[in-house]
Structure 1
């Protein structure tokens, strides 16, 4: 009996084989530590903007402040990642993001309380993230065997999710005790772990045909996506999920309306999605064995929308957190499938550009969701804005998934 239980646990437990590669292991752990600081700053920025303005609409405007740099520099950064040493590019983008964190620290320490300065610093930080994220994604297939890419992606999302739990919970404590400046200072210090991991990477010169980075290179990448409906749909379903159902911009308002503005409640709400992602990541051994990924993605994103909607009607904090945690677990699993499709479908000389578009969608979609949530909440109220987006997400993703037959029938066991 014990052997059966052990075998069952082994089948569902997270696959750690990629950790046997030292360069990947350093990159993973460095990213995990620095991401705690990144999440801490994200929560602190939202809280500071709401504190200054008292408006969810202003919190929602953090979305476009992030989105424009993410689109421009994400596409450009992905094209550059296909043409230069990816290690050097990762280092450059990291320094840009760190300088933005220092700017946030200075404005908090000086007590400026200027929302425009915060938006500008957020935009610069998004620029650095727009360069590093596609570069890091394009690096992974060079550090681990192709058959371990799905497992490496799962570990990446698991570590990032742990940071997304620890960062917001730490933010609740830091904001209650030390203030915004302390939060930004911690982020600036934790940045060092990710930078060290990038420094220790081997040289990663481009393979295959090299195209000069620029508008033509970006256009070539977009044309490739347009010719691949399965790749295109992996982006489309993610945009639907994030733009319509992401409730993040409403967390400060919910904490204020239902929990008396408690910083601890805000921290739990901010960490809730990531708590579920961590739980799902620890039990993710089965994820790589799902081959009908088009069907799986459609069903998963519909469930994401429905569970997000249910959280809007919950009363106690623990129930809201539980429902959002379920949503976060579903989202983590779907993210692994989307990322793996891109990394295994595209050749190496296209991976940087694919990761650039992926980063724009993955990071830009939630920013659109922030704007939608903040604007609709200001117009119709908290619960209709929150729940309505979730229900609409579920409906749209089912319609879209069924409409593209090649995506619905996609099976990883079939050769292209």
Structure 2
């Protein structure tokens, strides 16, 4: 029961966080028709973890991760307040001021993501028995992907039927609901003895470098998450400019990502014991890259939707298996910091690829930008299959 409530709290938090991200992207495209601004705003949503993610990892080993979550989620509220100022006075505010508020809101979202994501993963072991941790990790990652996928559908539904202001109000309510659910879910936590932060960070870096499975899993996570930036920055333009969909249909198209991620996560939970862990990881990542890369070439809605669902499901399966592997190999005393490294990757890599995708789409066009990222993912997954012997030979997580 407690773990289910914790996952529900996670769902509301991730929905709220991704609603900020998508609001930044949609407002940049709607008000300024700028892929570059959308990419920069999305980048600011996830760039702060480059610095703050390491601090978050230390905090999650020193202090209760639940307390870290309760404090950090307030950053989302700040983002919604700033964005509400942008949409409330659309005509009366100077364009430069709107741009500044959008980017500042994105930055505050980034502060929240820096702490919320690793603290959520670090809290999970306190709500489940050790032998259920792998399945619970897959379930939590499924919630993460559901929040990512449902956010644009919820956002577009509210915007079309009510207003942008209502989008911000609902996002703030989701944040408060997440906090309210988490407040009574306390647990006993014995913090790690405080040392110099530098020494604690060096300890986890040294461990990761010596653990082949973990460093290879983190590398595969980086390759997979390179797809997320183009998906969030460029898919709205695929829906609008290539498929010529209406506002509500754009939301439905983007929500297919949610269905795909959910489907992929559910399938992994059902068949993970039957898959060859390592080989399937490389195959899923490769095919997901090929699928996303071809979306710019497909102008028929049904075909584009089918490819998006297949690619999304494969990407979701890969990420779920990566998270399960990290939880399996991470020792308890380093778990918070190792998961913070993962969440830094899950945030910084999409931010970087999103900025690059936005710049590419603005300079060379949408379709070549998508193809370039598809080729990139395919190439690096092939290199990983060749070089990552430890993972390639791993058949099961016992």
State how far apart, in whole Å, the 2-side matches of 1:32 and 1:213 are. Answer: 34
Aligned to 1:403: 387
State how far apart, in whole Å, the 2-side matches of 1:143 and 1:32 are. Answer: 16
Offset, 1:390:
0.8
1:55 alignment partner, one of 11, 17, 34: 34
State how far apart, in whole Å, the 2-side matches of 1:96 and 1:172 are. Answer: 22
Q: Does 1:93 align with 2:76?
A: no
Using the size of structure 2 for normalisation, the TM-score is: 0.91
Using the size of structure 1 for normalisation, the TM-score is: 0.87
2:296 alignment partner, one of 309, 312, 319: 312
Q: Does 1:224 align with 2:190?
A: no
**Matched-pair contact (CA < 8 Å) for 1:108–1:180:** yes
1:212 alignment partner, one of 192, 195, 205: 195
Offset, 1:76:
0.8
Aligned-residue RMSD, C-alpha: 2.2
Offset, 1:82:
0.3
Question: Aligned pair count?
Answer: 392
Q: Secondary structure at the match of 1:144?
A: coil
**Matched-pair contact (CA < 8 Å) for 1:242–1:368:** no
Gaps of 5+ in 1: 1-21
Offset, 1:333:
1.2
State how far apart, in whole Å, the 2-side matches of 1:204 and 1:365 are. Answer: 34
Aligned to 2:113: 129
**Matched-pair contact (CA < 8 Å) for 1:90–1:135:** yes
State how far apart, in whole Å, the 1-side matches of 2:227 and 2:176 are. Answer: 35
Q: Does 1:69 align with 2:48?
A: yes
Q: Does 1:250 align with 2:234?
A: yes
Distance 1:230 1:254, change over 3 A: same
Q: Does 1:82 align with 2:61?
A: yes
**Matched-pair contact (CA < 8 Å) for 1:175–1:263:** no
2:166 alignment partner, one of 162, 182, 192: 182
State how far apart, in whole Å, the 1-side matches of 2:345 and 2:146 are. Answer: 22
**Matched-pair contact (CA < 8 Å) for 1:39–1:167:** yes
Q: Secondary structure at the match of 1:200?
A: coil
Q: Secondary structure at the match of 1:247?
A: helix
1:270 alignment partner, one of 209, 232, 254: 254
State how far apart, in whole Å, the 2-side matches of 1:267 and 1:148 are. Answer: 35
Query: Which deviates more from structure 2 when the two are superposed, residues 268-277 or residues 124-133?
Result: 268-277
Offset, 1:287:
4.1
Aligned to 1:15: none
State how far apart, in whole Å, the 1-side matches of 2:248 and 2:184 are. Answer: 37
